[in-house]
């Protein structure tokens, strides 16, 4: 049992750092998507990668690196609030755009006008 705990103690910082790195890479991917997608609504989808997967992985990584349980609890609360407020703000944005009359781009966006469209 102690051997497993020792292994976990040795492995934990590496795992936490790796998860933080993956979360950061996902945030960059979300940003790339925001820049590449053609219109407002599809850019929202790319931004939601940063909202969900990147934030989750980064917070789990931080929890693995945390020195005490109190910090883990606070990170869990942060995660909960992110997951409750993130969709609310996304919905508010989309709803405001829809109410203002912004028409979404419908139909297949191919490589002909990809990126610039």
Partner 1 sequence: MGYFLGLIVVLVALWTGLSGEYTLTKPLIATLGAISILLSGLLAYRFDILDREGSPYARLPQFLAYWAWLVVEIFKANWVVIKACLRSTLDINPALVKVKTGCESDLARTVFANSITLTPGTVSVEVEGNKILVHALYEDSAGPGAFDDMDRRSREACDGKAKS
Q: Is 36 in the site for partner 1 (CB under 8 A)?
A: yes
Q: Is 21 in the site for partner 1 (CB under 8 A)?
A: no
> Which member of 22, 24, 46, 65 binds partner 1 (CB under 8 A)?
46
Tell me whether residue 2 or residue 99 sits nearer to partner 1 (CB atom): 99
Interaction residues for partner 1, span 75-104 (CB under 8 A): 77, 83-84, 86-88, 90-91, 94-95, 98, 104
27 contacts: CB under 8 Å, gap ≥ 6: 49, 50, 54, 58
Residue 28 to residue 115: CA distance in whole angstroms: 17
Question: For residue 30, with 0-12 CB atoms within 10 Å meaning exposed, 13-18 middle and 19 or more buried, which class applies?
Answer: buried
> Which member of 15, 16, 24, 38 binds partner 1 (CB under 8 A)?
38
């Amino acid at each position: 049992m102690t051997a497993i705990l020792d292994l976990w103690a040795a492995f934990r910082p590496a795992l936490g750092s790796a998860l933080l790195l993956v979360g950061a890479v996902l945030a960059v991917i979300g940003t790339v998507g925001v820049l590449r997608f053609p219109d407002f609504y599809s850019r929202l989808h790319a931004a939601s990668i940063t909202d969900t997967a990147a934030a989750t992985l980064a917070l789990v990584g931080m929890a693995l690196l945390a020195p005490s349980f109190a910090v883990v609890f606070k990170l869990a609360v942060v995660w909960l609030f992110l997951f409750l407020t993130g969709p609310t703000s996304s919905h508010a944005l989309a709803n405001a755009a829809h109410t203002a009359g912004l028409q979404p781009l419908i139909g297949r966006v191919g490589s002909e006008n990809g990126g610039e469209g």
